[in-house]
Amino acid sequence: MSNSTPKKTNTDTFKPILGARFSGHPLNPDFPVDFTEKWSPPNKPIQGLFYHDSFELGLCHEGSGVLILDNKAIPYKAGDICAIRQFDSHFHIGTKNTKTVWSFIYFDPVRLLKAALKDPELADTSGLAAPNLNPILSSSEHPKIEQVYLIFYNELLKKTKGYHDASVSLASIFLTLLNRIKTSSLKLSFNVYGEDMNRIAPVLFYIGKYYSGELSVNNLSMLCGMSTRNFTRKFTEVTGKPPMIYVNEIRIAMAKTELLSTNKKIIEIAFDNGFASISNFGKSFIKQTGFSPRHFKKNNTQQ
């Protein structure tokens, strides 16, 4: 083992969205690892984005839904793994009327691996985010990552002899695998939106809960106390897309999870996710995915 010290990440660059809530997992300085056995997205209005001061790994054991990470909506289903950097603001939306269950592992890469890595760059997780790496990974495409997660999780759960050393090795393997599959070596800065994000945060929270209802730019702008013109401009500056396009992306993301994880009819999924007609749903779906809902389900459902 090398005694070289990994390059420290400047915590001053970790600036979560204003108004986002810290969800802490106090980590033992001598063994900075924690885990959660079973967690489900709350069945109540979303109060805000969350962030952690540790690297978060998760496995969806049951159900489906969408991860909202900053301004992106990423569908997930049972068997998918999430990898979320320290201080990345996020929240989960579970598919309606479906039980969704996750387990999570939290650890501080720098403190946990400082004496174990020959390549100290592995402890720098700043590049493990979009566009370098999708935060939701399919276990069917990345079976080794799922295997390592389950071994890591079971070591923490059972606490058998030597689990500290095993955890260090498994965290190192996990980060190595993530770095191998990322699409580039670009080091990303952490998103800092400041007051602009704080102004539109209530709308993001509202959309996350009521995406299937009747939403309009006028009603959404009222949540921020802004004119529709100023709201549309500010929302587009922060998220990179106009409000109703963002709403549509959330709706399509949720529809994708239902297509792959339920036996609902396509017309039911369309109405359940806020589309006024099957025709409107089909056009929006094709525009975003390149496939009709039927072909998307057929191409992505394992036989």
Residue at token pair 């069945």: 43
Taking only the tens place, the pLDDT of each residue in 207-266 is: 877 888 899 999 999 988 899 999 999 888 877 789 999 899 889 988 988 898 888 899
Taking only the tens place, the pLDDT of each residue in 174-192 is: 988 988 887 644 443 334 4
Cα distance between residue 299 and residue 216, in whole Å = 33
pTM (2 decimals)? 0.69
- Within 70-149, strands assigned E span 72-77, 80-84, 90-94, 101-107, 136-138
What CATH fold (topology level) applies to the domain 14-181?
Jelly Rolls (2.60.120)
Look at the alpha carbons of 219, 270, 83, 103 in this order and tell me if their dihedral is positive or negative: positive
Ranges in the chain annotated CATH 1.10.10.60: 194-300
Cα distance between residue 12 and residue 20, in whole Å = 17
What CATH fold (topology level) applies to the domain 194-300?
Arc Repressor Mutant, subunit A (1.10.10)
Copy the structure tokens of residue 109.
């890469």
Give the phi and the psi of residue 50 in degrees, each rounded to 5: -120, 155
Ranges in the chain annotated CATH 2.60.120.280: 14-181
